[in-house]
């Protein structure tokens, strides 16, 4: 597979030659932040939105970014060029750096920047248009006053455990509830459902990542006269939904066909899901002109 990796500006196409020191705090403690960008027609999508969120994540954990937006973007573009990919998956990781063992962030020397670019490949199941299956897992989403899901940090064990539980039960991905049993999100995507023609999604206050795709979809719905509401949702709302879909940078708008082994609505992608999917497609096409 075509790829390129940049570590603090050192480029290679060989992942075996791309390594970081074992004392790096990203490796030891998940003391890092990241963003996943993608290209459409070879052009990076929603760059400012990703950088805004990166800066919010950095501020939330008191991490100094190693360079300004322009310089980081330039390095990303260089890495994409070096990868020679048709369409790119771009992961930007910034760790707090290395230092002697110990949790105190003051032990860190300097932030380290890793850019990983690979060919954008999609799960065949996503492309089939049939929709995926979800399980509401027992693993709860991190409590927002413990490790806020709004921070896109390298500490994803909560989500790893959730998808592992879903997969073990034969589902494709997980829906996580919070401590009060409110619906939060999936493991790497936000969730929307449709009830009586209204688009519903949990509010940011419940403790979720502010997905860029979610934000774009909310805006597109508003602009196109589609009823939409950000409100607390519970398991019963999921179970009685007419339609459901996940959304994220890589998944885009991904229909959900079944939850906990029971079909959602007709079990096929519903009309509002298809509408949001085509509005989003149009938007990405316009943005990459
Ligand atoms: N929630 C979580 C936990 C995620 O990791 C992601 C992927 N970044 C999303 C939601 C979707 O966010 P976006 O639309 O910005 O990709």
Residues whose CB is less than 8 angstroms from the CB of residue 1 and which lie 6 or more positions away in sequence, other chains included: 118, 119, 121
pLDDT at 12 over 80: yes
- Top pLDDT among 122 and 44 is at 44
The count of domains in the chain is 2
* CA distances to 10, 13, 117 from 17, in Å: 10, 8, 15
Q: What is the mean pLDDT of residues 65-86?
A: 98
* Nearest protein Cα to ligand 1, atom 12: 211
Tally of CB atoms within 10 A around 227: 13
9 shares a domain with 102: yes
Q: What is the mean pLDDT of residues 264-283?
A: 97
C-alpha span between 265 and 257 (Å, rounded) = 8
130 shares a domain with 41: no
Q: Are 112 and 94 in contact (CB under 8 A)?
A: yes
Number of alpha carbons in the 13 Å side-chain half-sphere of residue 117: 27
29 shares a domain with 84: yes
252 shares a domain with 142: yes
CA of 159 to the centre of ligand 1 (A): 11
Separation of CA 94 from chain center: 16
Q: What is the mean pLDDT of residues 139-150?
A: 97
Q: Residues lining ligand 1, judged by CB closer than 6 Å?
A: 36, 159, 185, 188-190, 209, 211-214, 248-249
Phi and psi, residue 278, nearest 5°? -75, -35
263 shares a domain with 219: yes
Whole-number average pLDDT of the chain? 97
145 shares a domain with 224: yes
CA of 161 to the centre of ligand 1 (A): 16
Which tokens hold the place of 74? 């330039």
Q: Point out which residues pair with 262 in neighbouring strands.
A: 259
Going by pLDDT thresholds of 50, 70 and 90, the confidence category of residue 92 is very high
C-alpha span between 91 and 5 (Å, rounded) = 10
CA of 74 to the centre of ligand 1 (A): 23
pLDDT at 288 over 80: no
Percent of the chain with pLDDT over 90: 96
Going by pLDDT thresholds of 50, 70 and 90, the confidence category of residue 125 is confident
pLDDT in tens, 191-250: 999 999 999 999 999 999 999 999 999 999 999 999 999 999 999 999 999 999 999 999
Domain of residue 194, residue span: 125-287
Residue 193 pLDDT:
98
pLDDT at 128 over 90: no
Closest C-alpha to 232, from 266, 287, 191, 264: 191
- Tell me 105's DSSP state: G
pLDDT in tens, 168-195: 999 999 999 999 999 999 999 999 999 9
19 shares a domain with 110: yes
Residue 168 pLDDT:
98
60 shares a domain with 189: no
Q: Is the alpha carbon torsion for 103, 31, 25, 8 positive or negative?
A: negative
114 shares a domain with 130: no
Instruction: Tell how strand 112-119 and strand 173-177 pair up.
Output: unpaired
Q: Which residues are catalytic?
A: 152
C-alpha span between 217 and 23 (Å, rounded) = 40
* Nearest protein Cα to ligand 1, atom 9: 189
* Nearest protein Cα to ligand 1, atom 3: 188
* Nearest protein Cα to ligand 1, atom 8: 188
Residue 124 pLDDT:
83
169 shares a domain with 150: yes
Ligand 1 atom nearest residue 213's Cα? 14
* Probe residue for ligand 1, chosen from 50, 54, 142, 189 as the CB with the greatest number of ligand atoms within 8 Å: 189
CA of 169 to the centre of ligand 1 (A): 23
Closest C-alpha to 151, from 28, 24, 248, 32: 32
pLDDT in tens, 100-118: 999 999 999 999 999 999 9
């Amino acid at each position: 597979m075509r790829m390129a990796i940049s570590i603090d500006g050192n480029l290679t196409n060989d992942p075996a030659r791309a390594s970081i020191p074992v004392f790096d705090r990203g490796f030891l403690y998940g003391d890092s932040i990241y963003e996943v960008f993608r290209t459409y027609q070879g052009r990076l999508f929603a760059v400012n939105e990703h950088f805004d969120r990166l800066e919010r994540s950095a501020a939330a954990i008191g991490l100094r970014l190693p360079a300004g937006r322009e310089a980081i973007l330039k390095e990303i573009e260089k890495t994409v060029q070096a990868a020679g990919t048709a369409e790119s998956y771009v992961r930007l990781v910034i760790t707090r750096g290395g230092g002697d063992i110990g949790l105190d962030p003051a032990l860190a020397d300097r932030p380290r920047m890793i850019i990983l670019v690979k060919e954008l490949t999609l799960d065949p199941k996503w492309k089939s248009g049939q929709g995926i299956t979800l399980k509401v897992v027992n693993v709860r989403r991190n409590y927002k006053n413990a490790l806020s899901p709004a921070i896109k940090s390298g500490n994803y064990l909560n989500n790893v455990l959730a998808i592992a539980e879903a997969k073990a039960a034969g589902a494709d991905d997980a829906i996580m509830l919070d401590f009060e049993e409110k619906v939060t999100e999936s493991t790497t995507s936000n969730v929307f459902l449709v009830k009586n023609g209204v688009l519903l999604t949990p509010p940011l206050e419940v403790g979720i990542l502010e997905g860029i795709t979610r934000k774009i979809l909310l805006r597109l719905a508003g602009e196109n006269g589609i009823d939409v509401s950000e409100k607390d949702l519970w398991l019963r709302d999921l179970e009685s939904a007419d339609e459901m879909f996940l959304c994220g940078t890589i998944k885009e708008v991904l229909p959900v066909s079944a939850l906990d082994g029971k079909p959602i609505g007709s079990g096929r992608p519903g009309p509002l899901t298809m509408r949001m999917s085509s509005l989003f497609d149009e938007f990405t096409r316009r943005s990459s002109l």
